[in-house]
A and B are shown apart, each in its own frame.
Chain A
Amino acid sequence: MAKWLKILISVFTVLLVVGVVVAMLVGYFGFISQNMQDDSERHLVEIYEQVNQSFNSFISRNWGILSSCSDYYTVLKQNNDPELNTKFKEFVLGDEENHLFGKKHDVDFEEFYFLDPDRKYYALSDNSTGHFESGDLSDMIANNQKILTRDTPIRDSKPAVDPDSPGSTEESAGQASEVIMFAIPLGTGYTYNGFSFTAVGISYTNAKLAAKLDAVAFKNSEGFSIANSYIIQPNDDGDVLLSPNVGGDVTRKYLKYMKGVLRDDPDTFARLREGVKSIKKTEANPHPHGYLSYTTKDTDGKNVTHCVIYMPIDYGDYVLISNVPQTAVSQGFLQAQTATMRVMLIIFSLIIAVLLVVLIMRIISQSRQSKKELLYREKMFDVLSNNVNDIFLMLDPATETVDYISPNIERLLGIKVKTAKENIRTMATCAVDYNIIIPNEELQSLPMGESRSWECEYMHQATGERRWYRVTIYHMNIQKMEKYVIVMSDRTLDKQLNAQLEEALNAAKSANEAKSNFLSNMSHDIRTPMNAIVGFSVLLEHNADDADAVREYTRKIMASSHHLLSLINDVLDMSKIESGKTSLNVERFSLPDLLEELNIIVMPQAKAKDQEFNIRTNGTPPDEIMGDRLRLNQILLNLLSNAVKYTPDGGKIDFTVQELEESAQFTKLRFIVKDNGIGMSEDYLKEIFQPFSRETNSVVNKIQGTGLGMAITKNLVDLMGGIIEVESEPGKGSTFTVELSFALVQEQSQDAWFSHKITRMLVADDEEEICLNIRDMMHDTGIDVSYVTDGAAAVEAAVRAHNHNSDFNVILLDWKMPGMDGVETARRIREQVGEDVPILVLTSYDWSDIEAEARAAGINAFMPKPFFTSTFFQTIKPLFNEPAEAAPEQPANDALSGKLFLVAEDNELNAEILTEMMDMEGARCEVAKNGKIAVEMFLRSEPGYYDMILMDVQMPVMNGYEATKTIRASEHPDAAEIPIVAMTANTFAEDVQTALNAGMNAHLAKPIDMEIVRKTVAQLLEKRQKGESK
């Protein structure tokens, strides 16, 4: 349910509860108010019925008292005796128990008057005379009525002196105040102290009499009456006979006053006036009353409700009317109402408070939950945005104010969040292509609710790293605020993958194309030698009688066969490498030997093209290292052969071996093959190591090649954990650099040198770098190396040393030095120093041509370049009366002659070729068509019958490996010693190892090279003779 709907329901529930409670309160208070009003009226009626009754009794008592004196009046009428007058006065005014107005009667009048019909009076207390202001009194006397009226006695004269009168006072004439008069008519003939009277009366002040109207129930704590009670005439003005006691007698026209009070409520006033005027006692209703209430505002603006009760009294038309604040009438109810209201309000407040608390708690809980969720979302979003490469923004379109930007913008684009927030346009500076940035005007036209996307490349401002983003901008209305939400989705990986895929596709296409080219080339390359072989074979057959022609055709067939064989070797090699089946055969080998072999192989090729070929060392490459000599040789030979192949005649090829770093166990060597040949294009350099690739140009097309050499080289380098790099420029040549690491073998100790008393040597070479290199290489031997850079200097140094009786132990001379060459230098040294000092010549050239001359000049030995300490040591050891290790004995050309071979070969043609070739060497062969037959033939043979077994590997029934194992495991006396040589087309290193593991003694690759066969057989037979065959 939507959050706003929940809040709406909650608010509605609260309002409903409040409404119900308010309705209950209103109903309750309406009921209470009505009851209170009814009760107020009953209460007032009850009270003022009592007041009315009391006042009526008071009136009756006054009249009764006046009437009860009739005997005295009669006396006064009959006897105008002063003494009697005095007694009467005492009887009337005395305060004794038996006096007329004493305590017995409980009256407290102000004055006793004798009245005549002419408004005149005689005041008994002070014997004063005067008249009443109003004529009403006289009229009532004349009408022989009992009198109750309000009038003002106006004194006419000073009172007659009456020393005995206790109430006489000295008041000045003219003073007058209104009094309330009770009087009764007596008739004529009555006289008192000379004053003829027809009625007697007593007077009360308003204040005294008004107290009779006070209701005890309506007195406040100070004793003041809260109610204002009047006796009024029921006329329009409501003439007041008796006004309230409180505060004095100031209201004389009650209805006039009420008209003013109710000036804003004329209807109520009209009801009051008509009610007062019309209320009468009847037989049916002997106790009528009227009641109404009205509300006015006090000066503070508060509403004040008054209750008015009125009823007729028992005299005349007078009406008792009382005005009481409702608060006084219904005080109890009000208190109850107030208490109830408070209780209800408390309950109501508690209910509301509980509801509010529940609502607030719920809102707070929801708010907290929302905040928590929001916080979590923010945290998650922050974490996500920090760990993804997508950028999120929200901005105000009108002001371009950034409301939010994910913090990873600094990591991804190098823009600080603060900077981006201050000016979002700073992001545009990161865009690589400004044209892609969508213009603001176009964004403004983006319809609400829609989005637009585009891709743009951005560059990190600090690192320059480029990233592709798919920018999607959403035009949204968020809480009535127009916003742009921008999501920059990182597509860099996609782009890279696409690029890689495209590259791979191109590579695949290229490879496919290369294979196509390869097949085409292979077709050409295979067919070419095959064509030569087939062609010359035909010619051979045709000219079999021409010995010279036969030899020539045979030589060309052999050349074509070797080319075809190398082609097949390359293809197989590449296939082997690509299938991941190539392994390294790590062994100890001599780096100088390797270089010498290379020199032997390459130098003639270079020489054939009149190229200059130099081999140098840089640093102190070790003499012996651990590694796959065969593979290293293959790598270097590939590079050097290519250099020779692609360098025009007369060019130059430099081969440098450089030691980069050396530790206790390893050395890292760099091999550099540099030529100034035709070079390669930049495009071809990118795919030079791809298999089956060859650059296509007029020069290369003329050169034979499979396009696999460099791929094989690269893969071998990779296999050996090295790197290969190439730099080339068309027409200027190429430089291949190979870096490989090799494990070191134990170096020769210094003792070896000193044991031969070699402590000093002289080196002479026109290239000082070579001199220094030799000195560095000899450093660890402890030999003191002096060098000079020309022949003359060498002679001079040798002579000087000789003259000081400190001849050099060895003198090493470069052959080709400008000026005086090595041979001449040696000759002159011998002339002046003698024959004792060994002189060696260091050269990278074939010295066979000059050997005789050199030895004649006194040169003891030759050393190939580059210089290696091990080679040097081996070279000079014989010169110090210690023969050098015997060179391997060259196999005799008749090594095979007279030997009997067991040949296991399933291919009859191969068996025939071998048999024929062995036969040419004077050897015999017995052929077995599979391994099993070979085993059987061997087991059947007499001991020593076979000199050697030549075992094909892949044969039906039993292969060569199993046959070898069987033979070795047999009990034939020759089983352990008879040499078994693998003779197979499986030519890889692992094939060799497998053969050896199976118990074979050597491995010969097909096609058979008889020179190798001869050499191998000789070695094996020699070993067998020495007992080392196993």
Chain B
Amino acid sequence: MKKSLVLLTLLVVIVAAVALVACNPNDGENLDPNAVTIMGKETDLNKPYMTEIFEHYTTVTGKKLNIIKVEDNKFEDAAVARMADPAKAPDILLHFNNADLSRFNVAENFEYLTDAEWVSDLTDSAATYCRDAAGNILGLPFWESSVSGCYYNKKLFDEYGLVAATNQNEFRNLLNQLKEVVDVPLLWPAEDCTWMPQFALDPIFADDPTLLDKLNANQIKYADIPAVKRMINWIHTADNSNWFGNAALNTGWDDMAGQLASGKAAMVFIWDTWFYTDFSGVTYTKDDFALMPIFMNTLSDGSGTYEGGNLNMMMVNKNSTKKKDALAFLNFCAQPENYNVAFKGIATVSVFKQEVSNVQSHMVTDMQASINALERPSTASIKIIGYSADDVMAAINKLLRGECSVDECIAQMDSARIARAKALGAAGF
């Protein structure tokens, strides 16, 4: 009996160990020691243009690539850990130029690419996105670029004789009118779509860089910025007015396409590429949608805003033994004949000036003039030290649950931001 118990326990331990090994993509990986290793989120590395450029590279150069795909929610910690271990550090890290990047000690770990030949081929917006505070180009923005705004079901609007709003008041009226005819005037997937608040924060700090500087120097807080309070107030009003429907807290990424495609929801804050990569519908297709600015009351004149593209950058490990090969791979990707292969047919705003194989969404082209006038680069999530979309959304969700007031929500946003800034060792915190 006792012997059987011991054997059973041993068997369980072995099975558990095997399962753990099987579940960890980093262990047991069969990497080609001569190939350049690229590490990134699983979702990101599975993008069609990414797989295309990897295959294209191998095809053209005959060189292999080691691709390390990490589960999205484990990526940041895994990447930091790998970069800290020279034996396991990737040669190229695929990462957004956002606040999380500060965890990597960029100056010591990554090669500045400001002098690369391909920099001149980047659109101004793309180049701006890839620079750090000192103006250094941190990586090659080999990524789709899209315009984030308020995408609405134009066909549904026409059915109800409604038109897009051009200012905050019209947007308010529009939401009230929509409330009478649809379940969800504005889809607010609070469960896991944490990007929405940053769209409204962008113009605050993009239009007045001094506010950003003071915030990052810990001289002011969100609570000191009226526009932030107007935004949180608007979210609170929107929730109280049922502009988000009555199930925002239980709505997430997986619900978005269905609700928009069925007409249950009329509008959403999203980017155009999403309609090409993640949306499909029968009642309403992506062609039925149109774009208007985002109105979250952060702009005092009642105007709206769009957010420019957030670009994943290929950053080269400064300390890699295959740094040369990695730089050569970036050059390969930045060639028009190559990136046009990869982005062929992809709905994206051009990142490279000579990028012509991609397609522009009608939603963007129809509103190009408005976009030109109101678009702001992604600022909040990138430039605010300690900014975490999750933190902001957590505070807002607490507000939506009625667990805190507007001021307490803002205080929690500040508290979380300052805590992260301190954890990063930011000056002034």
B residues within 8 A CB of A253? Answer: 160-162
Say yes or no for B369: interface residue by CB 8 A criterion. yes
Which 10 A-B pairs have CB atoms at the shortest separation, nearest pair first? A247-B173, A253-B161, A248-B170, A256-B161, A260-B181, A299-B242, A260-B160, A257-B161, A250-B174, A261-B180
Closest to A246 in B: B173
Assess whether A257 is in contact with B181, with CB atoms less than 8 Å apart: yes
Q: Complex formed: what's the CA distance from A252 to B162 in Å?
A: 6
Cβ distance B104 to chain A, nearest Cβ, rounded Å: 43
Cβ distance A208 to chain B, nearest Cβ, rounded Å: 13
B residues within 8 A CB of A257? Answer: 160-162, 177, 180-181
Name the residue among A175, A255, A261 with the largest chain B CB count within 10 angstroms.
A261
A interface footprint on B135-176 (CB within 8 Å = 1, 0 otherwise): 000000000000000000000000111111111011111101
Say yes or no for A287: interface residue by CB 8 A criterion. no
Cβ distance A265 to chain B, nearest Cβ, rounded Å: 12
Q: State which residues 213-255 of A face B: CB under 8 Å.
A: 237-238, 240, 244, 246-255
**When the two chains form the complex, which single residue of A174, A248, A296 contacts B166, counting CB atoms closer than 8 Å?**
A248
**Inter-chain pairs besides A253-B160, A257-B161, 14 sampled, C-beta below 8 Å:** A238-B161, A247-B169, A247-B171, A247-B173, A248-B166, A248-B172, A249-B163, A250-B177, A254-B161, A256-B159, A259-B160, A299-B183, A299-B242, A300-B246
**When the two chains form the complex, which single residue of B162, B180, B183, B242 contacts A250, counting CB atoms closer than 8 Å?**
B162
Say yes or no for A263: interface residue by CB 8 A criterion. yes
Assess whether B165 is in contact with A250, with CB atoms less than 8 Å apart: yes
B residues within 8 A CB of A435? Answer: none
Assess whether A250 is in contact with B159, with CB atoms less than 8 Å apart: no
The 27 sampled A-B contact pairs (Cβ below 8 Å) are A238-B161, A246-B169, A247-B169, A247-B170, A247-B172, A247-B174, A247-B176, A248-B171, A248-B172, A248-B173, A250-B163, A250-B164, A250-B177, A251-B173, A252-B161, A252-B163, A253-B162, A257-B161, A260-B180, A261-B180, A296-B180, A298-B179, A298-B242, A299-B179, A299-B246, A300-B242, A300-B246
Cβ distance B101 to chain A, nearest Cβ, rounded Å: 38
Closest to A263 in B: B181
A residues within 8 A CB of B165? Answer: 248, 250
Q: Complex formed: what's the CA distance from A255 to B161 in Å?
A: 8
Q: Complex formed: what's the CA distance from A300 to B240 in Å?
A: 10
A residues within 8 A CB of B159? Answer: 256, 260
Q: State which residues 168-210 of A face B: CB under 8 Å.
A: 174-175, 177
Say yes or no for B308: interface residue by CB 8 A criterion. no
Q: Complex formed: what's the CA distance from A240 to B161 in Å?
A: 9
Cβ distance B21 to chain A, nearest Cβ, rounded Å: 50
Q: Complex formed: what's the CA distance from A250 to B295 in Å?
A: 14
B residues within 8 A CB of A261? Answer: 180-181
Q: Complex formed: what's the CA distance from A240 to B167 in Å?
A: 19
Cβ distance B296 to chain A, nearest Cβ, rounded Å: 15
Q: Complex formed: what's the CA distance from A255 to B176 in Å?
A: 16
Closest to A172 in B: B369
Q: Complex formed: what's the CA distance from A240 to B160 in Å?
A: 12
B residues within 8 A CB of A300? Answer: 242, 246
Q: Complex formed: what's the CA distance from A255 to B181 in Å?
A: 13
Q: Complex formed: what's the CA distance from A174 to B372 in Å?
A: 13
A residues within 8 A CB of B180? Answer: 257, 260-261, 296
Say yes or no for B386: interface residue by CB 8 A criterion. no
Q: Complex formed: what's the CA distance from A247 to B174 in Å?
A: 7
A residues within 8 A CB of B163? Answer: 249-252
Query: A174-B369, A257-B161 are known contacts. Are A249 and B179 too (CB-CB below 8 A)?
Result: no
Closest to B175 in A: A247
B residues within 8 A CB of A296? Answer: 180
A residues within 8 A CB of B189? Answer: none
Q: State which residues 353-369 of B face A: CB under 8 Å.
A: 369
Contact surface of B with A, Cβ cutoff 8 Å: 159-167, 169-174, 176-177, 179-181, 183, 242, 245-246, 369
**When the two chains form the complex, which single residue of B172, B177, B242, B246 contacts A251, counting CB atoms closer than 8 Å?**
B177
Q: Complex formed: what's the CA distance from A601 to B110 in Å?
A: 156
Q: Complex formed: what's the CA distance from A237 to B160 in Å?
A: 9
**When the two chains form the complex, which single residue of A256, A260, A299 contacts B245, counting CB atoms closer than 8 Å?**
A299
Assess whether A251 is in contact with B161, with CB atoms less than 8 Å apart: yes
Q: Complex formed: what's the CA distance from A254 to B180 in Å?
A: 13
A residues within 8 A CB of B169? Answer: 246-248
Closest to A232 in B: B161
A residues within 8 A CB of B181? Answer: 257, 260-261, 263
Name the residue among A177, A250, A253, A257 with the largest chain B CB count within 10 angstroms.
A250
A residues within 8 A CB of B172? Answer: 247-248
Q: Complex formed: what's the CA distance from A644 to B184 in Å?
A: 134
Cβ distance A326 to chain B, nearest Cβ, rounded Å: 15
Q: Complex formed: what's the CA distance from A263 to B156 in Å?
A: 14
Closest to A301 in B: B246
Q: Complex formed: what's the CA distance from A253 to B161 in Å?
A: 4
B residues within 8 A CB of A244? Answer: 173
Q: Complex formed: what's the CA distance from A251 to B165 in Å?
A: 10
Q: Complex formed: what's the CA distance from A174 to B368 in Å?
A: 12
Q: Complex formed: what's the CA distance from A92 to B181 in Å?
A: 45
Cβ distance A205 to chain B, nearest Cβ, rounded Å: 11
Q: Complex formed: what's the CA distance from A249 to B162 in Å?
A: 9
**When the two chains form the complex, which single residue of B166, B173, B179, B246 contacts A177, counting CB atoms closer than 8 Å?**
B166
A residues within 8 A CB of B170? Answer: 247-250
A residues within 8 A CB of B166? Answer: 177, 248
B residues within 8 A CB of A174? Answer: 369
B residues within 8 A CB of A251? Answer: 161-163, 173, 177
Name the residue among B170, B245, B246 with the largest chain A CB count within 10 angstroms.
B170
Cβ distance A321 to chain B, nearest Cβ, rounded Å: 13
Q: Complex formed: what's the CA distance from A756 to B356 in Å?
A: 174
Q: Complex formed: what's the CA distance from A237 to B161 in Å?
A: 8
Q: State which residues 477-514 of A face B: CB under 8 Å.
A: none
Q: State which residues 909-932 of A face B: CB under 8 Å.
A: none
Q: Complex formed: what's the CA distance from A256 to B163 in Å?
A: 12
B residues within 8 A CB of A246? Answer: 169, 173
Closest to A261 in B: B180
Cβ distance B373 to chain A, nearest Cβ, rounded Å: 9
Cβ distance A497 to chain B, nearest Cβ, rounded Å: 77
Name the residue among B161, B171, B176, B246 with the largest chain A CB count within 10 angstroms.
B161
B residues within 8 A CB of A240? Answer: 161
Q: Complex formed: what's the CA distance from A174 to B165 in Å?
A: 18
Cβ distance B286 to chain A, nearest Cβ, rounded Å: 22
Q: Complex formed: what's the CA distance from A263 to B263 in Å?
A: 14
Q: Complex formed: what's the CA distance from A64 to B214 in Å?
A: 58
Cβ distance B290 to chain A, nearest Cβ, rounded Å: 13
Q: Complex formed: what's the CA distance from A799 to B97 in Å?
A: 155
A residues within 8 A CB of B176? Answer: 247
B interface footprint on A251-281 (CB within 8 Å = 1, 0 otherwise): 1111111011101000000000000000000
Cβ distance B244 to chain A, nearest Cβ, rounded Å: 9
Q: Complex formed: what's the CA distance from A543 to B246 in Å?
A: 156
Cβ distance B366 to chain A, nearest Cβ, rounded Å: 13
B residues within 8 A CB of A250? Answer: 162-165, 170, 173-174, 177
**When the two chains form the complex, which single residue of A175, A247, A256, A298 contacts B160, counting CB atoms closer than 8 Å?**
A256
Cβ distance A770 to chain B, nearest Cβ, rounded Å: 94
B residues within 8 A CB of A252? Answer: 161-163
Closest to B173 in A: A247
Cβ distance A517 to chain B, nearest Cβ, rounded Å: 96
Q: Complex formed: what's the CA distance from A456 to B176 in Å?
A: 91
Name the residue among B172, B174, B181 with the largest chain A CB count within 10 angstroms.
B181
A residues within 8 A CB of B245? Answer: 299
Q: Complex formed: what's the CA distance from A247 to B171 in Å?
A: 7
B residues within 8 A CB of A263? Answer: 181
Name the residue among A177, A248, A259 with the largest chain B CB count within 10 angstroms.
A248
Cβ distance B111 to chain A, nearest Cβ, rounded Å: 42
B interface footprint on A580-620 (CB within 8 Å = 1, 0 otherwise): 00000000000000000000000000000000000000000
Closest to B174 in A: A250
B interface footprint on A748-790 (CB within 8 Å = 1, 0 otherwise): 0000000000000000000000000000000000000000000
